[in-house]
């Protein structure tokens, strides 16, 4: 049975990760992508370790589990964040958000293929409603997408990377607790981003961002990097992959709406229609929790 805690986690992830899309776009105006991810992930990893320690969740684990943590982290956190950062450089934030959240489609397919999670009729219909909402959102920008596909390809890479990482998280029986697990996932992702920053950019020679961007950066680290990564690990552990990812469909709606309010994106009829479709898909996914949970 889906408990209020899981519903709270879905809402928190939808809100904080949704607001992260305009936040990252704002930061990218003054901080290059590798440096952005290196600072965000490194600081987030340290904070998650402190939180895990305060919660008395040991960071110690076996060498074999470290391999699983490294693999899941490189796909779930590193791959998604790097692809998404570059994707936002080449396309509008609203479009980037939409394409990234084709992730549920890939994760549902991969979990059915490798984890044996059944695709019930209600779950397929719920996922279909959500994906239809994303299609409606992207329909207005079809011509622009076809003329400049670079950003879309980066965002598809982000979606696929997150989907593979989510399946890896679900495939392994973990001994390390969720907060400690999140700390390791982000830590293993921070290492290659730091290397990338020094190889491709000059982080030590860059000027300090403006106070406004520093404030947005603080939000980016505390909520999307720390709170959301910890919440996502807990959510994937408690729910079937297909049900967990349907909940994430709230994120692009928050991302698109907040991009309109904060970045000046136009709120068209297609965005309003997509909001109704995606929210309907989430309501349907949670309508009969006992039947959904039984499939896990």
pLDDT at 287: 57
Full pLDDT tens readout for the chain, 296 residues: 668 888 888 889 989 999 999 999 999 999 999 999 999 999 999 999 999 999 999 999 999 999 999 999 999 999 999 999 999 999 888 878 888 878 877 887 788 788 887 767 766 887 788 788 778 877 776 776 677 788 889 999 999 999 999 899 989 999 999 999 999 999 999 999 999 999 999 888 889 999 999 999 999 999 999 999 899 888 888 877 767 777 677 888 899 889 989 998 777 788 788 878 877 876 666 554 443 333 33
From CA 117, how far away is CA 96, in angstroms rounded? 29
From CA 64, how far away is CA 203, in angstroms rounded? 34
SS3 274: helix
Torsion of CA 131, 133, 134, 139, to 10 degrees: 120
Q: What is the pLDDT of residues 231-259, one digit of tens each?
A: 988 888 887 776 777 767 788 889 988 99
The alpha carbon of residue 213 and the mean position of all alpha carbons in its chain are separated, in whole angstroms, by: 21
Q: Are 33 and 82 in contact (CB under 8 A)?
A: yes
Please state the pTM of the whole predicted model: 0.86
From CA 29, how far away is CA 150, in angstroms rounded? 19
Domain ranges of the chain: 4-293
From CA 271, how far away is CA 257, in angstroms rounded? 8
């Amino acid at each position: 049975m889906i408990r209020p805690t899981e519903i709270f986690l879905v809402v928190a992830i939808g809100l904080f990760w949704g607001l992260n899309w305009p936040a990252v776009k704002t930061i990218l105006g003054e901080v290059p992508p590798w440096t952005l991810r290196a600072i965000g992930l490194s600081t987030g990893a340290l904070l998650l370790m402190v939180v895990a320690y305060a919660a008395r969740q040991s960071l110690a684990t076996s060498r074999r589990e470290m391999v699983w943590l490294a693999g899941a982290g490189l796909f779930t956190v590193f791959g998604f964040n790097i692809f998404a950062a570059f994707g936002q450089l080449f396309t509008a934030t609203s479009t980037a958000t939409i394409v990234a959240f084709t992730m549920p489609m890939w994760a549902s397919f991969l979990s059915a293929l490798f984890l044996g999670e059944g695709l019930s009729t209600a779950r397929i219909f719920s996922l279909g409603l959500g994906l239809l909402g994303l299609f409606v959102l992207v329909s207005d920008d079809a011509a622009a997408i076809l003329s400049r596909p670079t950003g879309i390809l980066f965002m598809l890479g982000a979606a696929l990377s997150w989907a593979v990482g989510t399946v890896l998280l679900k495939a392994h029986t973990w001994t390390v607790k969720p907060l400690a697990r999140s700390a390791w996932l982000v830590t293993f992702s921070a290492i290659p981003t730091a290397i990338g920053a020094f190889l491709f950019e000059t982080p030590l020679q860059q000027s300090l961002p403006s106070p406004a961007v520093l404030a947005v950066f603080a939000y980016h680290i505390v909520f999307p990097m720390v709170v959301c990564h910890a919440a996502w690990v807990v959510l994937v552990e408690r729910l079937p992959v297909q049900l967990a990812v349907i909940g994430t469909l709230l994120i692009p709606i928050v991302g698109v709406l907040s991009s309109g309010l904060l970045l000046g994106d136009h709120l068209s009829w297609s965005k309003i229609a997509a909001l109704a479709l995606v929210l309907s898909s989430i309501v349907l996914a949670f309508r009969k929790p006992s039947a959904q949970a039984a499939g896990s």
